[in-house]
Amino acid sequence: MKFVLMGLEGMAGDMARRWRQQDVEVVVCDDDAAAGKQLAEECGVVATTSVVAALRKLPSDGPKVVWLMLSDNAAVDKAIKNLASRLSLGDIVVDGTHSNYHDSQRRGALLSQSGAWLVDAGIIDSGNGLAQGYCITVGGEREHVKTVEPLLQALAADSGTGWAHVGLLGAGHFARMVHSGIESGVRQALSEGFALLQGKTSFSFDLPTVANTWIQGSALGGSVLGDVLAKAEANATSSTEAQLPNYDELRWSAIEAVEQNVAVPVISAALQHRTAQRDV
């Protein structure tokens, strides 16, 4: 299957590498010509710098697929408007960015006016997506998800099974948003726990020893504990912005809780702590 990957932001480069490892043909479209060229030399993607050039590289028969991995909300809106005028009946756009599910639904309605369709993909990287694959929750109509299933299987963890079609358009991003809220709460609790261990100076806890013991078989094991431990060893119990889940998604989770009248004290506390960190 040959498709267009728009944007090389964040984990997009490793996603392209993983697709190429499984012989998926990737046409990269990014304003940074040097980044595209480097990736082309490294793993064999086709590099372009414009949507027009990228779409011309796709087969004329069958639906065209464009996968978005862009930097921010404004960039996604711009791309969707551009694609709406260039795609036709049956073509599909996959939005893999950190989009709000309301925006996904709005963008899907815009694309549908030209006969194209949107699939939203909430992508979670445990820290080594290139080697292990990604966790993906997908929203959209079943027939449209079926079209892009080969791309999802090639990208997903657990030998291609680490993805699921979780509902209608917007559901994929909604599920990822909730995951970010949960993860932030877990990270906050772990950070506070390490602060307590550090503070009990009479015991002189060796934090790596405690954490590595927990990792071996307790309910706290996993990559999140490893990240928090790394900061604790550096005498900073709060994870850095780059290590934490997307801030906007944490905020959206809290807003959704208010709208649903659902109590989420842990997620709310994590949001308050993150907000305070951002204001420093």
- At residue 10, the pLDDT reads 87
Residue 243 is predicted with a pLDDT of 52
* pLDDT at site 9: 84
Q: Please report the pLDDT score of residue 50 as a whole number.
A: 95
The helix (run of H) or strand (run of E) holding residue 261 is none
Contacts of 122 (CB under 8 A, 6+ apart): 136, 137, 138, 139, 172, 173, 174, 175, 176, 177, 179
Low pLDDT (below 50) residues in the chain: 236-242
> Do the beta carbons of residue 163 and residue 140 sit within 8 Å?
no
Query: Is 0.95 surpassed by the pTM of this model?
Result: no
Instruction: Pinpoint the residues of the chain covered by CATH 1.10.1040.10.
Output: 176-279
Residues of the chain with CATH 3.40.50.720: 2-168
* Backbone angle region of 156, left / alpha / beta, with phi > 0 → left and psi within -120 to 50 → alpha: beta
Task: Give the strands of the sheet with 2-6, arranged side by side.
Answer: 46-48, 25-29, 2-6, 65-68, 92-95, 117-124, 135-139, 163-167
Question: 27 — phi, psi (to 5°)?
Answer: -105, 110
Residue appearing with tokens 């990269």: 28
Share of the chain above pLDDT 90, in %: 69
pLDDT in tens, 188-225: 888 888 889 989 999 999 988 888 888 887 877 777 78
pLDDT digits 0-9 by tens, 204-214 = 999 888 888 88
| CATH code for the structural domain at 176-279 | 1.10.1040.10
pLDDT score at 274: 84
Q: What is the pLDDT of residue 65?
A: 98
| Domain 2-168, CATH | 3.40.50.720
Per-residue buried b or exposed e for 132-156, using 16+ beta carbons within 10 Å of the residue's own CB: ebbbbbbbbbeebbebbebbbbbbb
Q: Please state whether beta strands 46-48 and 25-29 pair in parallel, antiparallel, or not at all (unpaired).
A: parallel
Kind of pairing between the strands at 46-48 and 2-6: unpaired
